Amino acid sequence: MSPLALVTGGQQGIGLGIAQALRAQGFRLAIASLPSPDQAAEAMRTLGPEARYYRHDLADLAAIPALLDRIAAEQGPVDALIQNAGVAARIRGDMLEITPENFDWIMGINLKGGFFLAQQVAKRMLASTSPHYRSITFVTSVSARMASPERADYCISKAAASMAAQSLALRLAPHNIGVFELRPGIIATGMTEAVRDKYDARIAGGLVPAGRWGQPSDIGQALIPLVTGRLAFATGAVIPVDGGLSIERL
pLDDT one-digit tens code per residue, 125-146: 999 999 999 999 999 999 999 9
Residue 107 has pLDDT above 90, yes or no: yes
pLDDT above 90 covers a percentage of the chain that reads 89
Give the pLDDT band of residue 193 (cuts 50, 70, 90). confident
Looking at the chain, list the stretches that DSSP marks H as alpha helix, in order from N- to C-terminal side: 13-24, 37-47, 64-74, 100-107, 114-126, 152-172, 196-204, 216-227
Q: What is the pLDDT of residue 2?
A: 97
Looking at residue 145, the DSSP 8-state letter turns out to be: T
Residue 86 has pLDDT above 80, yes or no: yes
Cα–Cα distance for residue pair 91/220, rounded to 1 Å: 29
Report, as an integer, the average pLDDT of 23-39: 91
pTM exceeds 0.75, yes or no: yes
Cα–Cα distance list, 55 to 23, 48, 64, 221 (Å): 20, 17, 11, 26
Residue 191 has pLDDT above 80, yes or no: no
Q: What is the pLDDT of residue 50?
A: 87
Residue 37 has pLDDT above 90, yes or no: no
Residue 194 has pLDDT above 90, yes or no: no
Helix (H, G, I), strand (E, B) or coil at 128: coil
Looking at residue 187, the DSSP 8-state letter turns out to be: B
Residue 156 has pLDDT above 80, yes or no: yes
Residue 12 has pLDDT above 80, yes or no: yes
Report, as an integer, the average pLDDT of 111-119: 98
